[in-house]
Structure 1
Amino acid sequence: MKKNLRNHLVYIFLLGIITFNFSASIPDEGMFPLSELNRAGLKKAGLKISEKDIYNPGEVGLVDALVQVSGCTGSFVSPSGLIITNHHCAFSAVQLASTTEFNYLKNGFVANALNQEIEAKGLTIRITDSYEDVSSEVLNAAAAVNDPIERINTINRKRSEIAQRAESSDPSIKAEVSEMFIGKSYVLFRYKTIEDVRLVYVPRQDIGEFGGETDNWVWPRHTGDFSFLRAYVAPDGSSAKYSKENVPYKPKKHLKINPAGVNENDFIFILGYPGRTFRHRPAQYIAYQQQFLLPYTADLYDFQNQQMLTAGKDDLATELALATRIKRNANVLKNYRGKLKGLHNIDLVTEKYKEDRELEQFIRSKTELNTKYGTLMNDIDQHYKAVFEVAKKELWFNNIYSSTSLLRVASAINSFKIAVLKQNGVKAQEEFFKLNIEEVKKHLDGIYASYNLTVDKAIAQKMLEDAYEFGGSNKLAFLTKQNFLSKDDTKQYINSIFDKSKLTNKETLFSSILKDVQSLKNYTDELLSLQKEINTEMLVFNEEQKRREGILNKLMGDYVAVKEKYQAKNFIPDANSTLRLTFGNIKGYSPVDATYMKPFTTLKGLVEKGNSGLPEFEYPESIKNAWLAKNFGAYAKKDLNDVPVNILYNLDTTGGNSGSPIMNANGELIGVNFDRSYDATINDFAWNENYSRSIGVDIRYVLWIADKIDNAQFILKEIGI
């Protein structure tokens, strides 16, 4: 996180503008902001380098090798912008580059020279440049605002204003104000963005996805979940979109790879961009997850995947088009079911209610606190009672557009038509149409890229069937107007409006409805009308949700503040996609009675899984031949007499840590994080050293595959092996 900007701001920041005052045991839950590394106990835990070698304002450190790759993490491993991350993090770009003729998703991709590297469409690189506490400015702006909707609007406006001000003072950066504690603390992050990213080396699917969904979130694991990308910039070093004239980016720092790997109990740490955790929320929030969000979403995604898998079963083009969507759904639904299992196993809701009752007793025991926070716990309870009352409707609204591609198309067409009609006069409308039509088509291309009519129709039918059964406050007004007599009527309704709509075919839409401004103005159908009805009702609902968000923002600020007083310490902020460090050890565990899971898997285990005959455990024959011949090269682990494939450790990770570099005590890369064990999916709500385990690919397996299987020796040469 080297700053070539206002280092004095970071210096002040470290002196105490943000003073979380974290405490840590070894190992401890926690995704530490970089400003608090000196409080984390890293040296005591086993770190051999200085904390300043990791992060030191004004100087180059390991953090300068870290990047955010869309929703994942990656790290520079060469002076020429080479990045290592996960196979699943590059998956969407590989899918977009694949065709029925060049199926890189199945067969992998190896570029033996720079001019062979291909565009990684949809991927961008973001590098943290600096950060600064802006809590006072944000909260002061809303201090005198009592109306909940206006409060949250004021906070969001101020966050946007601060970010825009930062970008105006330095046009080379992108800025965001992140909420570290809801309603309590806000930090301005400045990022450098690289828009030209290219695929360099991606292993074939039966390596990068070995085990498929059967092994997803499971240990033992044998997955080569890695890929190599390269960042490119314009010849003058500025960020630029994909162009043949662009040159490899020169990072301030790249990580050294240690091919010797690690041993059991070795100290390790991870730098990365963890997504979101929710550990500082009250019991009712966890209850909402357990009763509503997790089961609903998992079941919906399961249904969607069944439809998409069926549609692509005998059609490779359809299979490729839907591959990324299927993978994302499968990952989420298994994660959510793991969370549900974990919530039930440790009965976290009951434990949280117990903690909150004790917190309430503490408030009442202190006159000053009782005066200020006496109604807090009851106010939180009343808030969530209102949330629970319309939970089904909220989840339906949250998923209807992401589930149904044609409703997103209808939304785009309706929005474009409204914008056109707002123009004053026919000539102005025609000019507006011509000015924006290509951007609209580009947006629609993105939707149609993962669209299938049969799938869309089946999912829309399910969504309306579900909504038909909603009662009470969850009942949807637009459905009531239709006077459906049964669930079957909803299915017939979807069939009818889809069959009559020209939106079901992109070519027809582009050549007729979007042919000219008059065609757009004249066209209407029942699908467009349905989207309008849904949107009208959703806007009213969202306004009420915004009011509740404003209430919750204030309540959660108070909740964290009083909880800090109760526990006599501050907390590590929940993960929010900002750069964090977590540390621990290579370590197995006992997930169930009489079972111990070792922290290393090997080629032997991979071959054994392959003997099952299941398609998800198919692997290249060259792996088996090399294993039988003991052709391990320099990558074997001596005590195993085999090449280690995956590793297990007790670090605190979550979504977004995918692709994070796993480093040893000397700050050398020894693996790439990609998953958690099934029991650790609950990490988002609670972390426990007994069951929280994360999974990474051992760097020795990465190097062995590159060397012995894929003949990607250029990678080894570039990274200095």
Structure 2
Amino acid sequence: MKANLKSLLVAAVLISSIFNFSAKVPDEGMFPLSELSRAGLKQAGLKISEKDIYNPGQIGLVDALVQVSGCSGSFISPNGLVITNHHCAFSAVQLASTPEHNYLENGFVAHSRQQEIEAKGLTIRITDSYEDVSDKILSAVAQVSDPVERIQIINKKRKELASDAEQKDPSIKAEVSEMFIGKSYVLFRYKTIEDVRLVYIPRQDIGEFGGETDNWVWPRHTGDFSFLRAYVAPDGSSAKYSKNNVPYQPKKHLKINPKGVDENDFVFILGYPGRTFRHRPYQYLEYQQQYLLPFTSELYDFQNQQLYNAGKNDKAIELALATRIKRNANVMKNYRGKLKGLRNIDLVKQKQQEDQALAEFIAKSLDLKARYGTLLQDIDAHYKTVFTDAEKELWFNNLYSGIRSIHIARLLNSFKDALAKYPAKQQRSKIFTLNIAKVKEQLEKIYESYHAEADKNIAKHQFALAYQFKDQNTVSTIQRKNFSNVEAAQAYIEKAIDQSRINDKNKLFSEVLNDAESLVAYQDELLTLQKQFAEEIEPFSTELIRREGVLNKLMADYVAVKETFQSKNFIPDANSTLRLTFGYIKGYSPADATYMTPFTTIKGLIEKGNSGDAEFRYPEAIKQAWLAKNFGAYYKKEIDDVPVNILYNMDTTGGNSGSPIMNAYGELIGVNFDRAYDATINDFAWNESYSRSIGVDIRYVLWIADKIDNAQFILKEIGI
């Protein structure tokens, strides 16, 4: 399949920097850098100039910001030291760990640069510059009405512009990000650093204190931080891991303020928020509430049960599956929080009422009626089509990520097809030799989190789901096999996996991938099944591309007329590009007769540990230091303790993990890592009364580094 089916319908939306907006008090919004002067930062409490944050052609705080794979982070020393979240480095720590050297469980402190460990799989990306290219893209489709042709031209033009930018400057990677669907596009230029190393990772019972029980929950007591370092070649160019590489020297690094903040202090965040979907019609939220959120959360819950069982008696398997389990669990709880939020505030009904008011507004204007008279009906018709086969779409979205055996079968079939194009043995052998290393590298990545027994159970579950689909949700590949009942469908996929060489990596590599002829000759039921799925997916994928084209035009019109209706431009939605949000250190009342204060303490951490729950274990050294009142310079008088986590009313979402929390002077006072459970709905709607984000207080980071982990090498480098 050429593209993830999910991505064809769920496109990112975010306002372009060509729009103007203002916020004299903290409000929802993740502001583009070019509009900081209009964001009302000085009135809100910023003590430095907006130009100290971002000033084109000059060095500002934004030059200290990085994207760490799917997270944010910031440089905090002139020698490429980066602070981000523990969970953002989790996969690299897992890959570096073995049962003998379990850095995931025991943590890791490099006391010199020579001791720093390669962070496999992590890259660092820095925003170099950006420009609006909306006119260049939209002019190419000005006369195009066919939705498939329109979206194909737009996507082609985006790739062309990015490619042109990279040819002009080979040192950058370029992307054209869609801001508002079908309406505005911005070309971003990024510098990428490929050599990233682990410097200081707290032990798991600090970095993950509270586990999944506390995930998306306040009060929180998690030391969700880690330190990495960026390395480049001696000439300053990006290079893969090498002992000859040297620490990267950033244009700017953040100053750490070890005094932290107080309640009601002004704070702001710079980072790379993922995606929000606040400018969608009510039917989009119906799709989320009825289909995507419940289907995905329930499926991930089942997958994790199987993965947990696979590793519970084997430490090596547990480590191998840890990242997959953590990612599943995080999404699962997030989606369930969103479901709760959607139902609690009846957001679908609210949006439906907004769209009804918009329809009445259009009907009262002859000009608007002429241009947008059928817009809302067309949107409704689009989503009615989406709803008819939503289950099948979601099932296919999770086919390869869920059933890893079929994912491996897809790679093998693809390689076999490439070899089959060459009739001569000698030619096939040559192509095989040229490509086998890359194929094995791709397979190794899948096998890192593969477990045959768990995979069979997950496959049986997904086949049971598909067997019961009806009407347009029917998965034809499964229905054509005429299974007598659901148990027969499950027995079929279990047998197919059992009898395939795929379930044993060593056999697959030594017997099937030994040479070109061994691979071409190899066949089993699993490979045949994957081909059948691919044949079914192809026309369905084409239909989803058509729908994406339809939606592209509808959403452009929807946003345009809503701007007229509301007499204002919209606060930005997020799309993984660099943004600023601001607010205050502030508690809230999540339920009747409750008030949550904005600081947690070491005392609270110890109290949770008294429960005896394994997720609330913590190092004994923390308790001993606390009892001895060995707080050092990190003590906060108002709470008579060291603050652990902080709460604030800034507008954050996925991707803001690891974002630096800065005070009014642009000094780092914490690291963002989560939202309160009620704020998981931020992706669809932000509200000051319940939207709260969570960060680790820099005083706790420094206290742990100083008093618990003896990370003096780090403290000296950051000037503490």
Higher deviation after alignment, 570-579 or 554-563: 570-579
User: Secondary structure of the residue that 1:56 maps to in structure 2?
Assistant: coil
Letter in 1 for 2:128: D
| Deviation string, structure 1 residues 517-572 (Cα, Å, up to 9, x no partner) | 11111110000011011111011111000000000000000000000000011113
Q: Secondary structure at the match of 1:352?
A: helix
Identity %: 72
Residue 231 of structure 2 corresponds to residue 239 of structure 1: no
Shift of 1:25: 4.2
In 1: Cα distance, 2:573 partner to 2:529 partner: 39
The number of residue pairs the alignment matches comes to 706
**Letter of the 1:693 counterpart:** R
Deviation track 1:95-118 (CA, whole Å, cap 9, x = no partner) reads 000001000000000000000000
Q: Is the 8 A contact 1:181 1:573 kept in 2?
A: no
* Structure 1 residues 133-532: aligned runs within 5 Å: 133-423=132-422, 425-532=424-531
Per-residue Cα deviation, 1:463-510 (whole angstroms, up to 9, x for no partner): 000000000000111112111111100111012111111111111111
Contact residue 109 and residue 200 of structure 2 kept, 8 A: yes
Q: Work out the CA distance in 2 between the residues paired with 1:626 and 1:462.
A: 49
Distance in 1, Cα, partners of 2:422 & 2:127: 41
Query: How far 1:277 sits from its partner (Å)?
Result: 0.3
Q: Aligned residue for 1:621?
A: 620
> 1:533: which partner in 2?
532
Cα distance in 2 between the residues matched to 1:184 and 1:380: 16
Contact 2:64 2:75 in 1 (8 A): yes
- SS of the aligned residue for 2:321 comes to helix
* Residue 573 (structure 1) shift: 2.8
How far did 1:143 drift?
1.5
Query: In 2, are the aligned partners of 1:23 and 1:569 still within 8 Å (CA)?
Result: no
Matching residue of 1:7: none
The more displaced of 670-679 and 364-373 is 364-373
Partner residue in 2 for 1:3 = none
Other-structure match for 2:21: 22
1:62 aligns with 2:52: no
Q: Which letter does structure 1 place at the counterpart of 2:639? A: L
Query: For the residues of structure 2 that align with 1:448 and 1:674, how far apart are their CA atoms?
Result: 29
Counterpart check, 1:651 vs 2:630: no
Cα distance in structure 1, aligned partners of 2:406 and 2:487: 20
Report if aligned partners of 2:24, 2:44 keep a CA contact under 8 Å in 1. no
CA distance in 2, matches of 1:595, 1:29: 24
Residues 17 and 687 of structure 1: is their aligned pair in 2 closer, same or farther, counting only changes over 3 Å? closer
Provide the rounded CA distance (Å) in 2 between the counterparts of 1:521 and 1:339.
47
Is residue 658–residue 673 contact of structure 2 (8 Å, CA) maintained in 1?
yes
Q: In structure 2, what is the equivalent of residue 49 of structure 1?
A: 48
- Could you tell me whether the CA contact under 8 Å between 1:676 and 1:694 is conserved in 2? yes
Q: Is the 8 A contact 1:67 1:76 kept in 2?
A: yes
Which letter maps to 1:487? V
1:88 is paired with a residue whose SS is helix
Q: Distance in 1 between matches of 2:520 and 2:296?
A: 37
- Written as runs of structure 1 = structure 2, the 5 A alignment for 1:62-81 is 62-81=61-80
TM-score, normalised via structure 2 length: 0.97
Q: What is the CA distance between 1:228 and its match in structure 2? A: 0.1
1: CA distance between counterparts of 2:240 and 2:210? 36
Structure 2 counterpart of 1:20, one-letter code:
F
Alpha-carbon distance in 1 for matches of 2:307, 2:689: 38
More deviation, 146-155/599-608 = 146-155
Instruction: Name the structure 2 match of 1:131.
Output: 130
Instruction: Determine whether 1:594 maps to 2:593.
Output: yes
User: 1:496 aligns to what SS in structure 2?
Assistant: helix
Q: Is the 8 A contact 2:182 2:556 kept in 1?
A: yes
Aligned position for 2:548: 549
For 2:489 and 2:244, the matched residues in 1 are separated by 54
Deviates more, 1:672-681 or 1:632-641: 632-641
Aligned equivalent of 1:120? 119
Deviations 1:113-136, CA, capped at 9 Å, x for gaps: 000000000000000000000001
Q: How far 1:18 sits from its partner (Å)?
A: 4.3
Between the aligned partners of 1:24 and 1:688, the Cα distance in structure 2 is: 15
1:173-193 deviation per Cα after TM superposition (whole angstroms, max 9, x unaligned): 000000011111000000000
**Counterpart amino acid of residue 426 in structure 1:** K
**CA apart distance, 1:427:** 2.1
8 Å Cα contact 1:129/1:192 also seen in 2: yes
Offset at residue 17 of structure 1 (A): 9.5
Are 2:659 and 2:672, in contact at CA under 8 Å, matched by a contact in 1?
yes
**CA contact under 8 A between 1:119 and 1:196: conserved in structure 2?**
yes
Cα displacement string for residues 332-360 of structure 1 (whole angstroms, at most 9, x for unaligned residues): 00000000000001000000000001011
Preserved contact between residue 601 and residue 645 of structure 2 (Cα < 8 Å): yes
Shift in Å, 1:319:
0.2
Please tell me whether the aligned partners of residues 16 and 185 of structure 2 are also in contact (alpha carbons under 8 angstroms): no
Letter in 1 for 2:361: F
- Supply the distance in 2 between the matched residues of 1:499 and 1:647 (Cα, whole angstroms): 50
SS at match of 2:632: coil
Q: Is the 8 A contact 2:81 2:230 kept in 1?
A: yes
SS of 2:638's partner is coil
2:4 maps to which residue? none
Q: Which amino acid aligns with 2:553?
A: K
What SS does the aligned partner of 1:43 have?
Answer: helix
Does residue 1:609 correspond to 2:612, yes or no?
no
Backbone CA RMSD of aligned residues: 0.9
How far apart, CA to CA, are the structure 1 residues paired with 2:440 and 2:335?
35
Counterpart in 2 of 1:9?
none
The answer for the alignment partner of 2:580 in structure 1 is: 581
The one-letter amino acid of 1:32's match is F
Residue identity matched to 1:329: N
C-alpha distance in 2 between matches for 1:511 and 1:75? 44
Letter aligned with residue 622 of structure 1: A
> In the aligned structure 2, how far is the partner of 1:55 from the partner of 1:192?
17
Q: Specify the SS of the correspondent of 2:175.
A: strand
How far apart in 2 are the matches of 1:30 and 1:424? Answer: 59
Secondary structure at the counterpart of residue 634 of structure 1: helix
Q: Which ranges of 4 or more aligned residues in structure 1 deviate by more than 6 Å?
A: none
Question: Is this contact kept in 2: 1:20–1:572, CA < 8 A?
Answer: no
Q: In the TM superposition, what whole-angstrom CA distance separates every residue of 1:190-220 from its partner, at most 9, and x where no partner exists?
A: 0000000000000000000000000000000
- Whole-angstrom distance in 2 between the partners of 1:49 and 1:658: 25
Deviation at 1:299, TM superposition (A): 0.3
Write the deviation string for residues 149-185 of structure 1: whole angstroms up to 9, x where unpaired.
Answer: 1111100000000000000000000000000111110
What is the DSSP-based 3-state SS (H/G/I as helix, E as strand, rest coil) of the residue aligned with 2:191?
strand
Aligned to 1:479, the other structure's residue is in SS state helix
- Return the offset for 1:425: 2.8
- The one-letter code matched in structure 2 to 1:509 is L
Deviation at 1:587, TM superposition (A): 0.1
Aligned partner of 2:684: which letter?
F
Aligned match of 1:568 = 567
Match in the other structure for 2:7: none
* 8 Å CA contact retained: 1:279, 1:685: yes
